[in-house]
Amino acid sequence: MNQQRHLALFDLDNTLLNGDSDFEWAQFLISKGVVDPEIQAAKNAQFYADYKAGTLDIHAFLDFQLAPLARHQRTQLDIWHGEFMRKHIQPIMLDNARALVAQHLALGHLCAVVTATNSFVTGDIAREFRIPHLIATIPGIVQGEFTGKPVGTPSFQKGKITRVDAWLESIGLWQGSFEHRWFYSDSHNDLPLLEWSTHPVAVDADDTLKAHATAQGWPTITLRDSTTPAALFKKIGLA
């Protein structure tokens, strides 16, 4: 298969991961005594409820989530992130997610993670999956240190299409360059990019997305059970 004909995009949290990297980063910072556990828990609960309802104020959320980055030097954050990867992320990287990504790469598809979580948290996770491109919310940096504010369009809801289109243009391509455009996600917040795709796949989907996928005849899969990769690929037409 020609790479120029196939684009494979992957949501990260609760899709390739059996959990949420933003939440896990917050838990890690709590374990380090970097953030107040009660404030963090209350804020996270409210933001998560808004996210599930489709009413999340992404800018308010990012102001909250990026603030700890601005309070510490990048060198310290990088050291912490290595520990975070070992203790919080590697244990929730799903074997079938690794197999799915590997299959797309083996077929020569152009692959990218597309996530609302910021690029500092997710960059090493994408690399661990061997996914060469990352489209994530960008935290601002001044003189090598984080500002605590996002830069540009957050990679969230319709913003994911904006960011994907801009990325493709930056490498001399556009959506019409691909006969097949895959996107894997668990969340109804990703319906804009799922509908932009020619091969939308609901992965361990929330109730709203599951109902929509069923109505549209989209494949619905889980990466969290003992299904063999071969059976998984056959179900989504990737064999």
What does the alpha-carbon distance between residue 57 and residue 189 come to, in Å, rounded to a whole number? 12
**Amino acid 40: pLDDT:** 87
Higher pLDDT, 48 or 128: 128
- Which residues contact residue 98 at a Cβ distance below 8 angstroms, ignoring those fewer than 6 apart? 129
Rounded to the nearest integer, the mean pLDDT of the chain is 95
**Region 194-222: what's the mean pLDDT?**
97
Q: Which domain holds residue 99?
A: 3-236
Stated pTM of the model: 0.95
Q: What is the three-class DSSP state of 152?
A: coil
Residues near 36 by beta carbon (within 8 Å), at least 6 away in sequence:
none
Percent of the chain residues topping a pLDDT of 70: 98
Q: 93 with 86: CB under 8 angstroms?
A: no
Out of 17-21, 43-47, 86-90, which region has the weakest mean confidence (pLDDT)? 43-47
Instruction: Give the number of domains in the chain.
Output: 1
pLDDT band at 48 (very low <50, low <70, confident <90, very high): confident
Q: Is the confidence at residue 202, as pLDDT, over 70?
A: yes
Check which CATH number belongs to the domain holding 110 and give it. 3.40.50.1000
For residue 1, pLDDT over 70 is answered with no
| Residues tagged active-site | 11, 13
Residue range 186-201, pLDDT digits in tens: 999 999 999 999 999 9
Residue 44: the pLDDT is 83
